[in-house]
Amino acid sequence: MFRFFASLILFFSLLSSAYADAAFVNRQDVHDFIEHMVHRYHFKKSELVALFSQVKIRPQVMHHINKPLEKEFWRTYQMLFVNEWRIQHGVEYWQAHEATLNRAEQVYGVPAGIIVATIGIETKYGQKMGEYRVIDSLSNIAFSNSTRKDFFQNELQEFLLLVREQHLNPLKIMGSYAGAIGQPQFMPSSYRRYAVKFSPRGPIDLIHNDADVIGSVANYYKRHGWKKEQPIAAPVLLLSNRYSYLLEHNKIQFPLTAGALPNYGIIPKTKIDPDDAELHVQLVALESRYNTEYWVGFNNFSVIKLYNPSDLYAMAVYQLASYTRALRDKLDHA
């Protein structure tokens, strides 16, 4: 009797799952997307129908996409990503891959600390690469009411092209709730454009191959305009409300240069190198519950934001890189 009911439960579970999948693949927007991929990129319609028939509805994906961590206060975000665990493990990751990091720094001009910090924030140095099937994440957002659905439809297209090029199983690739892949959490379009072969053998692998991961992160930043040996960010003080007043009355000349900051009541807390005085900067306001912390970000700060368009993210990468390098240097001289 027990076996009979267990079999019955399994049967109805499979039936329910199949019904949900059929409902998804039969949607008009999914059908239109399939037709687009068939006519433009010569996919086989039957294979895409079979693939989308196996896409699962994931309510958690839409929950996360509507409430990203980048909407948190700075102190909350900082505690999550710039903490003792990530600093200590960042040093360990650096020591384990020092030769590769040095080579990437020489080839691309991106500091090893920034590469390490990016991987540390994205996936805890490869320990947490995501628990969602990428095909599910991308499909759920691409065919939703999200204001970003067009972006994710493009990423879904890029994903299908990627798995075809790399001969991968689209149902086996795991990633974040937003469909980011591997240790550096590249979206499929970034994977296709910026992933590089930085190890001597095999295809590009951003999931298991640390050398490819390191080289690809460095290549991403370089291709987006990283300037070698230029500053990233500096803390500042704002004198009263002078900056806000001038901003409201259109009396600030953009873009700002580092040397002109005092003219607008923005006083750097650290000395600005004379060679950096003519570099353009942006004012960065990091809001916490009871106060606001002000910085200026240089070109390389803006480049980090092209990885994730958030001041919180870019500042976390910068600070984690700084603290990790400081601890590494301390241990080297102990």
In angstroms, the CA 293 to CA 74 distance is: 9
CB 287 within 8 Å of CB 84: no
Residue 122 known to be catalytic: yes
In the DSSP assignment, the letter for residue 186 is: B
Strand, helix or coil for residue 305:
helix
184-185-191-193 Cα dihedral, nearest 10 degrees: -70
Task: Supply the angle between the helices 134-142 and 149-166 in degrees, to the nearest 10.
Answer: 150
Strand partners, 174: 133
Nearest to 264 by CA among 227, 231, 237: 237
102: left (phi over 0), alpha (psi -120 to 50) or beta: alpha
Catalytic residue among 122, 155, 229, 278: 122
Active site residues: 122
